[in-house]
Amino acid sequence: MSTFLQSLKILILAIILSIGVSYVYAWTGPTATAPDGNVSAPINVSATSQVKSGGLWVASLGTDGGATFGGSVKIGTSNAVCTSAISGMLRYNSTIVQYCNGSMWCALGTTCGINLVIESNTNNYNIYDAATAAGWVSGKAVTLTINSGAVVGSTSTDSPALTTGAFPAGTSVTIINNSSIIGAGGAGGTGGNAYGCIGIPVTSGLAGTSGGPALSVSSPTVINNNGSISGGGGGGGGGGAARTSAFRASTCLGGGGGGGGAGLNAGLGGSGGSQSNSYSSPSSPGTIGTLVSGGLGGSGAVGGLGSGTGGTGGNGGAPGQAGSAGNQSTSNIGNITSGGAGGNPGAAIIGNSNITWQATGDRQGPINN
């Protein structure tokens, strides 16, 4: 009897296991004769050619061999600066396809443009004039590179340091600034005069003059500013003159001259105001500015009778900054005058609406459209 029960248990267990397995796994046979019907291999590093029916998007793509395109190829836009690292790259630029020749973007199907280089300090540079002198003709691109250490300045506050000139519509103009473009510095104002001041009013200090513009752009231009573009500094105002005695001309005190504004051609310091006091320390002129800073204002005269001083001249402005106003004079009898106003800074940019900035860099002074 026990043998029968043991056999029955084994049979029942086998039936239960077969039913359970049928629920867990239902085997499906192959749908085609091998090797048909195999699952496609994933993209891998093997030497076997592979075909993908859907699209493929990657962050970057390179090939050590050739490339075949069965459909159209779209070239995208790029603001990259053309250098040897991307030589051969193509881009679509508004209306044309361009290629990078290692130093500049060139339109396909045309002779690549003119490369202009400023290697040393230069004044009043006109890109159109320089390109024409180098053989430029309509249809060519123009690229100006200002090398590190070469400063572009101006000899006059009335003229920009650098101007594009008027190129024909559609011309590709690029400026790569690796140094400084700076307008001329404004002059310091003259100190107030006090010579022979008995019966003649002493005068206030004169205002400093404005600095000149740095860059004027009248044609569509791409700019990569790796350096600085600054208007000339404004000149400092002259100090006011004073009188310290109502009865003696020897107590008339001149104001100090204003300092000159910054620029490659910096502004001159203003003259000190005249005075007739032989017992005083005379007024002094302001100093000339430098490329990186404005000049210092001069000191006013100091009286020997009574008490008082001529006003100190204002300092000239740094690149793209206004000059300081001259100081008011002092006097024990209240016969004083004011200092002159500081000059305005020159514009960093004239024609900003014509510019596409790849890099803005350091810009000092007003930016005007």
* Average of per-residue pLDDT across 155-162: 98
pLDDT confidence of 12, banded at 50, 70, 90?
low
At 141 the pLDDT is 87
Does pTM surpass 0.85?
A: no
pLDDT confidence of 8, banded at 50, 70, 90?
low
**pLDDT tens digits for 65-77?**
677 777 777 777 7
**pLDDT tens digits for 232-273?**
999 999 999 998 877 766 678 999 999 999 999 999 999 999
**pLDDT tens digits for 300-354?**
998 767 788 999 999 999 999 999 999 999 998 888 999 999 999 999 999 999 9
Domain ranges of the chain: 73-112
pLDDT confidence of 11, banded at 50, 70, 90?
low
**pLDDT tens digits for 90-143?**
888 766 788 887 767 777 766 578 889 999 999 999 999 999 999 888 878 899
- The rounded mean pLDDT for the chain is 86
191: pLDDT strictly greater than 70: yes
9: pLDDT strictly greater than 90: no
Return the HEC string of the chain.
CHHHHHHHHHHHHHHHHHHHHHHHCCCCCCCCCCCCCCCCCCCCCCCCCCCCCCCCCCCCCCCCCCCCCCCCCCCCCCCCCCCHHHCCCEEEECCEEEEECCCCEEECCCCCCEEEEECCCEECEEHHHHHHHCCCCCCCCEEEEECCCCEEECCCCCCCCEECCCCCCCCCEEEEECCEEECCCCCCCCCCCCCCCCCCCCCCCCCCCCCCCCEECCCCEEEEECCEEECCCCCCCCCCCEECCCCCHHHEECCCCCCCCCCCCCCCCCCCCCCCCCCCECCCCCCCCCCCCCCCCCCCCECCCCCEECCCCCCCCCCCCCCCCCCCCEECCCEECCCCCCCCCCCCEECHHHEEEEECCEEECCEEC
280: pLDDT strictly greater than 80: no
**pLDDT tens digits for 29-55?**
666 776 666 667 777 777 777 777 777
88: pLDDT strictly greater than 90: no
